[in-house]
Amino acid sequence: MEKKGRRSFLEIATAFIGGVLSLAAGIPLIGFAISPAFKKGESKWVDLGLADRLKNSRFKKVDYTFTAKDGWVKATKKRSVYVTDAGNGEWRVFSRICSHLGCLVRWDAEKESFLCPCHGAIFDKTGAVIAGPPPEPLQKLETKVEAGILYVKES
Amino acid sequence: MSYAGIKQFLNERLPLEALDTHLRKPLPKHINLLFSFGSLAMFLLLLQAATGAFLAFYYSPSPEHAHNAVTYISTEVPFGAFVRGLHHWGASAMVIIVVLHLLRVVLYSSYKAPRELTWIFGVLLLLIVLGFGFTGYLLPWDEKAYWATVVGVEISSTAPVLGDFVAKVMRGGSEIGAVTLARFYALHTIWLPWLVFGLVGVHLFFVRYYGSSGTPKNTPEEMKAGKPFYPHQVFEDVVGMLILFVILAAVAIFVPVPLEDVADPTNADYDPRPEWYFLFLFQLLKYFQGPFEVIGTFVIPTVGMLLLLFLPFLDRSERAVLWKRPIALTVTSVSVAAIVILTILGGTSKKLETTEATVQETAQPTEHIQGAATPDTETEIVEEGEEVFDFQLTEEEIEGAKEVEASQ
């Protein structure tokens, strides 16, 4: 009877120590792996060019690059946006990344809409969803004009 | 589904009761704490596998990235220095524990019949542990990594007949570079892990199949009259694992893992030193010079390993504790003492101090065109007061020199 009691105590103690060990090793390891999810991205202003050159009542496709830290690499990132000025100093810069699953949208001047080639999403010229599965409008980037240069906020 | 329901479901499908009975089989009497080293080695293997698998999330095996990636792990990733510390110091702990495990087996002559195969697979595992060490320390791509690997690969090139070929295969070419790093990474993270888990599987199968050897003083009756493996032995093992983990974690937290400057193949001021567990070999090499070099680099290590591998067939004496076997005691003591002394000598050996500054020039094809071109010579004064010249020409200067030569 006594033997039985000792055995079950040892079994519980063994499982307990095993659990402690798994947590002591597992928590740092999992924290190590998932930490990028908690990292706040740095935002910065990136110039798109002289505002006068970009002025256009229709959407212009503009590609630009900027450097940003990518892990241990200082990487050159490439982005593509649609730019138009709505007059009265207001700029509309839309990310081309579809808010559904990340494909790149294209501006169709005839239909005056952004079309996504993947799942049939359609956005109007304000970025609002007209058709298809996207849950949100196209991302509109923050802009500013300084010394005649148009900047967008990259994050 | 209730707990009882799940248990019944599994019991109907898996031989869990038979497994439980097997695990509760009694061990031999007189089992002591020395019999936990195997379990501790297993624990360390799993810890190395886990920390290594996680480190791989942030590593890139290319000379352009490796050093930066390791710096990033150590300085920017949360828990990064700790995880790297566990992996780095865990490797050293692994070497210590497997050697203690081997010495316990020698102490009680547990390698004797019928356990010869268990021993042979154990020695192969020791070799793989050393292989993990060798392939692992190139990965940070710092000075130590680079130069220790240069020397390590050169050692293999001294082997007769196939030496040069083996060295080229190891490097993936004639010098250490991107291809070497990629293949060392592949060996360290894919080939050796598959091999080690396969061999551990076989080793463990033999351990369970033949049962624990116990100590030589056990009578045949006592061999099956000790405590059950589970939970008694397992409990002692996990306590040992907990103690080992606490020590390792403390070292990982308080002793930063060194990371030297990025590998520089032109740095002649660097004194290469291997990891501590290869220091005995490093020191041994100093005693064999000229035509005798191969004795230190190849003959002694190979013969030593073969003797160790086939020890059960060489030592045919009755099973007894080590101090009752004078020859085995002498050989073991001399071997251990030699390795310890060589390690200490290797570790304390003075690094080379260059007293005379030598003038080093980066060799470029300048001499035959020196009259034709006047290249910019940049002279940099380095810390030791040694001048380093760089006569390298720009492409325009080389073109200009060619034009001058053609017009003459």
- Amino acid A6: pLDDT: 66
Contacts of B241 in chain A (CB under 8 A): 17, 21
Q: Indicate the average pLDDT of chain A.
A: 90
- When computed from its CA atoms, the radius of gyration of chain A, rounded to whole angstroms, is 26
Which of A11, A17, A33 lies closest to B239 in CB terms? A17
* Residues 6+ positions from B3 with CB-CB distance below 8 Å: none
Given a contact cutoff of 8 angstroms between Cβ atoms, the answer to whether B109 and B216 are in contact is yes
In the Cβ-directed half-sphere of B139, how many Cα atoms lie within 13 Å? 26
Report the alpha-carbon distance of residue A17 to residue A22 in Å, rounded. 8
Report the alpha-carbon distance of residue A116 to residue B36 in Å, rounded. 63
Mean pLDDT, to the nearest integer, of A63-89? 89
Q: Give the residue from B340, B314, B330, B324 showing the smallest Cα distance to B108.
A: B324
Q: Give the residue from B17, B31, B393 showing the smallest Cα distance to B213.
A: B31
Mean pLDDT, to the nearest integer, of B301-312? 95
In the block, which residue shows the tokens 């390891």?
A29
> At B369, is the pLDDT very low, low, confident or very high (cuts 50, 70, 90)?
very low
CATH number of residue A147's parent domain: 2.102.10.10
Backbone angles phi, psi at B350, to 5 degrees: -70, 145
* Residues 6+ positions from A98 with CB-CB distance below 8 Å: A104, A105, A116, A118, A121, A134, A138
- Amino acid A97: pLDDT: 94
Q: Report the sign of the C-alpha dihedral through residues B258, B264, B269, B274, in that order.
A: positive
In this prediction the ipTM stands at 0.84
Report the alpha-carbon distance of residue B154 to residue B180 in Å, rounded. 13
At residue A2, does pLDDT exceed 50? no
**Could you tell me the CATH superfamily of domain B17-348?**
Cytochrome Bc1 Complex; Chain C (1.20.810.10)
The residues on B that touch A, with CB distances below 8 Å, are 47, 50-51, 54, 57-58, 60, 65, 68-69, 71-72, 77-80, 82-83, 86, 228, 230-232, 234-235, 238-239, 241-242, 245, 249
Of residues B122 and A58, more confidence is placed in B122
The answer on A52 and A18 residing in a single domain is no
The answer on A113 and A86 residing in a single domain is yes
Q: Report the sign of the C-alpha dihedral through residues B308, B148, B194, B244, in that order.
A: positive
Q: Which stretch of A33-37, A46-50, B359-363 has the lowest confidence by average pLDDT?
A: B359-363
CB contact (8 A) between residue A72 and residue B72: yes
The answer on A83 and A33 residing in a single domain is no
The answer on A48 and A26 residing in a single domain is no
The answer on A67 and A119 residing in a single domain is yes
CA distance B231 to chain A (A): 6
Q: Which stretch of A97-106, B129-138, B399-408 has the lowest confidence by average pLDDT?
A: B399-408
* Residues 6+ positions from B166 with CB-CB distance below 8 Å: B156, B157, B159
Across A94-107, b (16+ Cβ under 10 Å) vs e yields bbbbbbbeeeebeb
Q: How many domains does chain A have?
A: 2
Given a contact cutoff of 8 angstroms between Cβ atoms, the answer to whether A112 and A125 are in contact is yes
The answer on A31 and A48 residing in a single domain is no
- Amino acid A52: pLDDT: 85
B208: its two tokens = 């369970």
The answer on A67 and A24 residing in a single domain is no
- Amino acid B399: pLDDT: 84
At residue B380, does pLDDT exceed 50? no
Mean pLDDT, to the nearest integer, of B345-352? 85
What residues make up the domain containing A19? 2-38
The answer on A58 and A33 residing in a single domain is no
Q: Indicate the average pLDDT of chain B.
A: 89
Residue pairs between chains A and B whose CB atoms are closer than 8 Å: 64
Q: Give the residue from A93, A97, A100, A95 showing the smallest Cα distance to A133.
A: A100
- Amino acid B404: pLDDT: 86
End-to-end alpha-carbon separation of chain A, Å?
Answer: 67
Report the alpha-carbon distance of residue B252 to residue B87 in Å, rounded. 9
- Amino acid B349: pLDDT: 86
Q: Give the residue from B8, B87, B15, B9 showing the smallest Cα distance to B46.
A: B87
The answer on A85 and A122 residing in a single domain is yes
Of residues A8 and A1, more confidence is placed in A8
At residue B353, does pLDDT exceed 70? no
Residue-wise pLDDT for B140-168, tens only, equals 999 999 999 999 999 999 888 899 999 99
Of residues A55 and B37, more confidence is placed in B37
CB contact (8 A) between residue A25 and residue B241: no
Nearest Cα residue in chain A from B68: A72
CB contact (8 A) between residue B68 and residue A73: yes
Of residues B242 and B390, more confidence is placed in B242
pTM of the model: 0.86
Specify the 3-state DSSP secondary structure of B142: strand
Residue extent(s) of CATH 1.20.810.10 domains in chain B = 17-348
> At A43, is the pLDDT very low, low, confident or very high (cuts 50, 70, 90)?
confident
Given a contact cutoff of 8 angstroms between Cβ atoms, the answer to whether B277 and B95 are in contact is yes
The answer on A53 and A8 residing in a single domain is no
Report the alpha-carbon distance of residue B76 to residue A130 in Å, rounded. 43
- Amino acid B366: pLDDT: 43
Mean pLDDT, to the nearest integer, of A131-151? 93
Residue-wise pLDDT for B28-86, tens only, equals 998 899 999 999 999 999 999 999 999 999 999 999 999 999 999 999 999 999 999 99
CB contact (8 A) between residue A32 and residue B57: yes
Say if A131 is an interface residue toward chain B (CB within 8 Å).
Answer: no
At residue B379, does pLDDT exceed 50? no
Element (H, E) at B387: strand B387-390
- Amino acid B371: pLDDT: 37
- Amino acid A119: pLDDT: 94
> Counting beta carbons within 10 angstroms of the beta carbon of residue B129, is it exposed (0 to 12), middle (13 to 18) or buried (19 or more)?
buried
Residue-wise pLDDT for B258-304, tens only, equals 999 999 988 888 888 899 999 999 999 999 988 899 999 999 999 99
Residue-wise pLDDT for B184-243, tens only, equals 999 999 999 999 999 999 999 999 999 999 999 888 889 988 999 999 999 999 999 999
Q: Report the length, in residues, of chain B.
A: 408
> At B350, is the pLDDT very low, low, confident or very high (cuts 50, 70, 90)?
confident
The answer on A51 and A29 residing in a single domain is no
> Counting beta carbons within 10 angstroms of the beta carbon of residue B258, is it exposed (0 to 12), middle (13 to 18) or buried (19 or more)?
exposed
The answer on A73 and A22 residing in a single domain is no
Q: Report the sign of the C-alpha dihedral through residues B121, B123, B129, B132, in that order.
A: negative
At residue B363, does pLDDT exceed 50? no
Q: Report the sign of the C-alpha dihedral through residues A27, A32, A34, A36, in that order.
A: positive
- Amino acid A11: pLDDT: 95
Query: Is residue B256 reached through a cis peptide bond, with omega within 30 degrees of 0 on the bond before it?
Result: no
* Residues 6+ positions from A97 with CB-CB distance below 8 Å: A103, A104, A105, A138, A139
Report the alpha-carbon distance of residue B197 to residue B48 in Å, rounded. 12
Q: Give the residue from A83, A102, A96 showing the smallest Cα distance to A149.
A: A83
